Amino acid sequence: MTKSRIAAVDVGNDAVKANFGKLESELYIPNVVARDLEDRPVIGIEELDDKEPLDNIHIRVHSPALQENNAIYRVGNLAAKSDNSTELDPGSSKSEEDQTLVMLFTSLALDAVAGKDAQSSKNSVVEANYTLGTGLPLREVKEGKDVGYRSQLLGSVHQVEFLVTPKYQGMKVNIKFDEVKVYPEGFAAYVNLVMDNDLNIINKDLIDKQILIQDIGGLSTDIAVIRNRNVDDDKAQGFNLGVAESLEQIRDEILTKHGVELDSRRDVVDIITRKNDRHHIMVRGSRTSVHDITDRILLELAKKQYRFLRNVWQKNSQSEICYFVGGGSAVLKEYIKTLNNKLDGFNIDFFEDENESIWMMANAYYKLISDYIRKTEPVQNKKEDKKEKAPSK
């Protein structure tokens, strides 16, 4: 029997962040896909196998969980360069989109083939068993969509075939799940705030406080109300508004005003958050500010996010602090801080390390699924011992 490997995967609207094994491996893949043909031209002077696999993911995915089975995709950076690339649409449910599953399966398949000898593995099938920790927006969990999502993954074999992909061309990965845990994203953020990888309490000041966690994603915003170390399901709220729509608006306005077409929302995020030349692009070889566009659109979004915070805090007046997490928070941090200083002056906090905020969910899923394994392993070992000791008939 193939040994089960830990996978903690956050299929974020901006990118997939995944931790594997005993944290010896991680993956970051932009959440962009593009339908493609089986054979794609490889342009450049390098041989295919000299290229970087993560920049050239080209796969066929077979799974009974998919609405469109056996479809061929470019994924991540390769997809972002395509004219027909797609990112998740505002208003869509993460648990009901093929793209969510394609990104999940891709990350697992890349982990399964990592380090394998390309030549000896040509046309081979890799059997990969995973114990998965992942999550869905609070709104979808409250609607019970986590149950259907989990059942789609369990009990079936999901196959990823690498087509014109460096190092892995011709390889197939059969993915099976021994267990799948789907956590509400707001609670996962709380776990990451207060516990280390062994689930020891590292932030005792927060453990018994009533706190809010505002998770701003690409397509949605969740505000979790944490009291007595649990999410208050009745008080928690989800909103169908993230940063994706605003990023698309910025893309459109940059194209209209400057004639520059950015590949994806990821490019817009990079312009807004990078250390040097922030809010600048190159136009016909000249460094050009787009601050007038980004500032106006992001301030408008920050006002809406602040309204969410104000409304939830009014209904939970004994809350002591609100933590802003998620990739959207990194984009809106300065705007929300400025608004808060001018207006209500709530006790709010952001993670100064943007990378920590972006990886928060994947890290939390890793802690939670590792704890689940620790608690179930003794039970499993006892069952195995009983089998061995049972007299033969």
Given this model, what pLDDT does residue 106 score?
Answer: 98
Cβ(84)–Cβ(114) below 8 Å: no
Specify the higher pLDDT residue, 382 or 290.
290
Instruction: Please name the residue that has the structure tokens 């920049």.
Output: 55
pLDDT at 34 over 70: yes
pLDDT tens digits, 117-142: 555 455 689 999 999 999 998 888 88
Specify the higher pLDDT residue, 305 or 188.
305
Averaged confidence pLDDT in the chain: 86
**pLDDT band per the 50, 70, 90 thresholds, residue 207:** confident
pTM flag (> 0.85): no
Q: Going by C-beta distance under 8 Å and a sequence separation of 6 or more, which residues neighbour residue 102?
A: 33, 61, 66, 73, 75
Nearest to residue 139, comparing CAs of 91, 184, 104?
Answer: 184
pLDDT at 369 over 90: yes
**pLDDT band per the 50, 70, 90 thresholds, residue 39:** confident
Q: How many CB atoms lie within 10 A of CB 28?
A: 15
pLDDT at 206 over 70: yes
pLDDT at 168 over 60: yes
**What does the domain layout of the chain look like in residue ranges?**
4-187+360-383
Instruction: Please name the residue that has the structure tokens 């982990």.
Output: 111
Per-residue pLDDT, averaged over 223-245, amounts to 83
Per-residue pLDDT, averaged over 188-196, amounts to 80
What fold is seen in the domain 4-187+360-383? Nucleotidyltransferase; domain 5 (3.30.420)
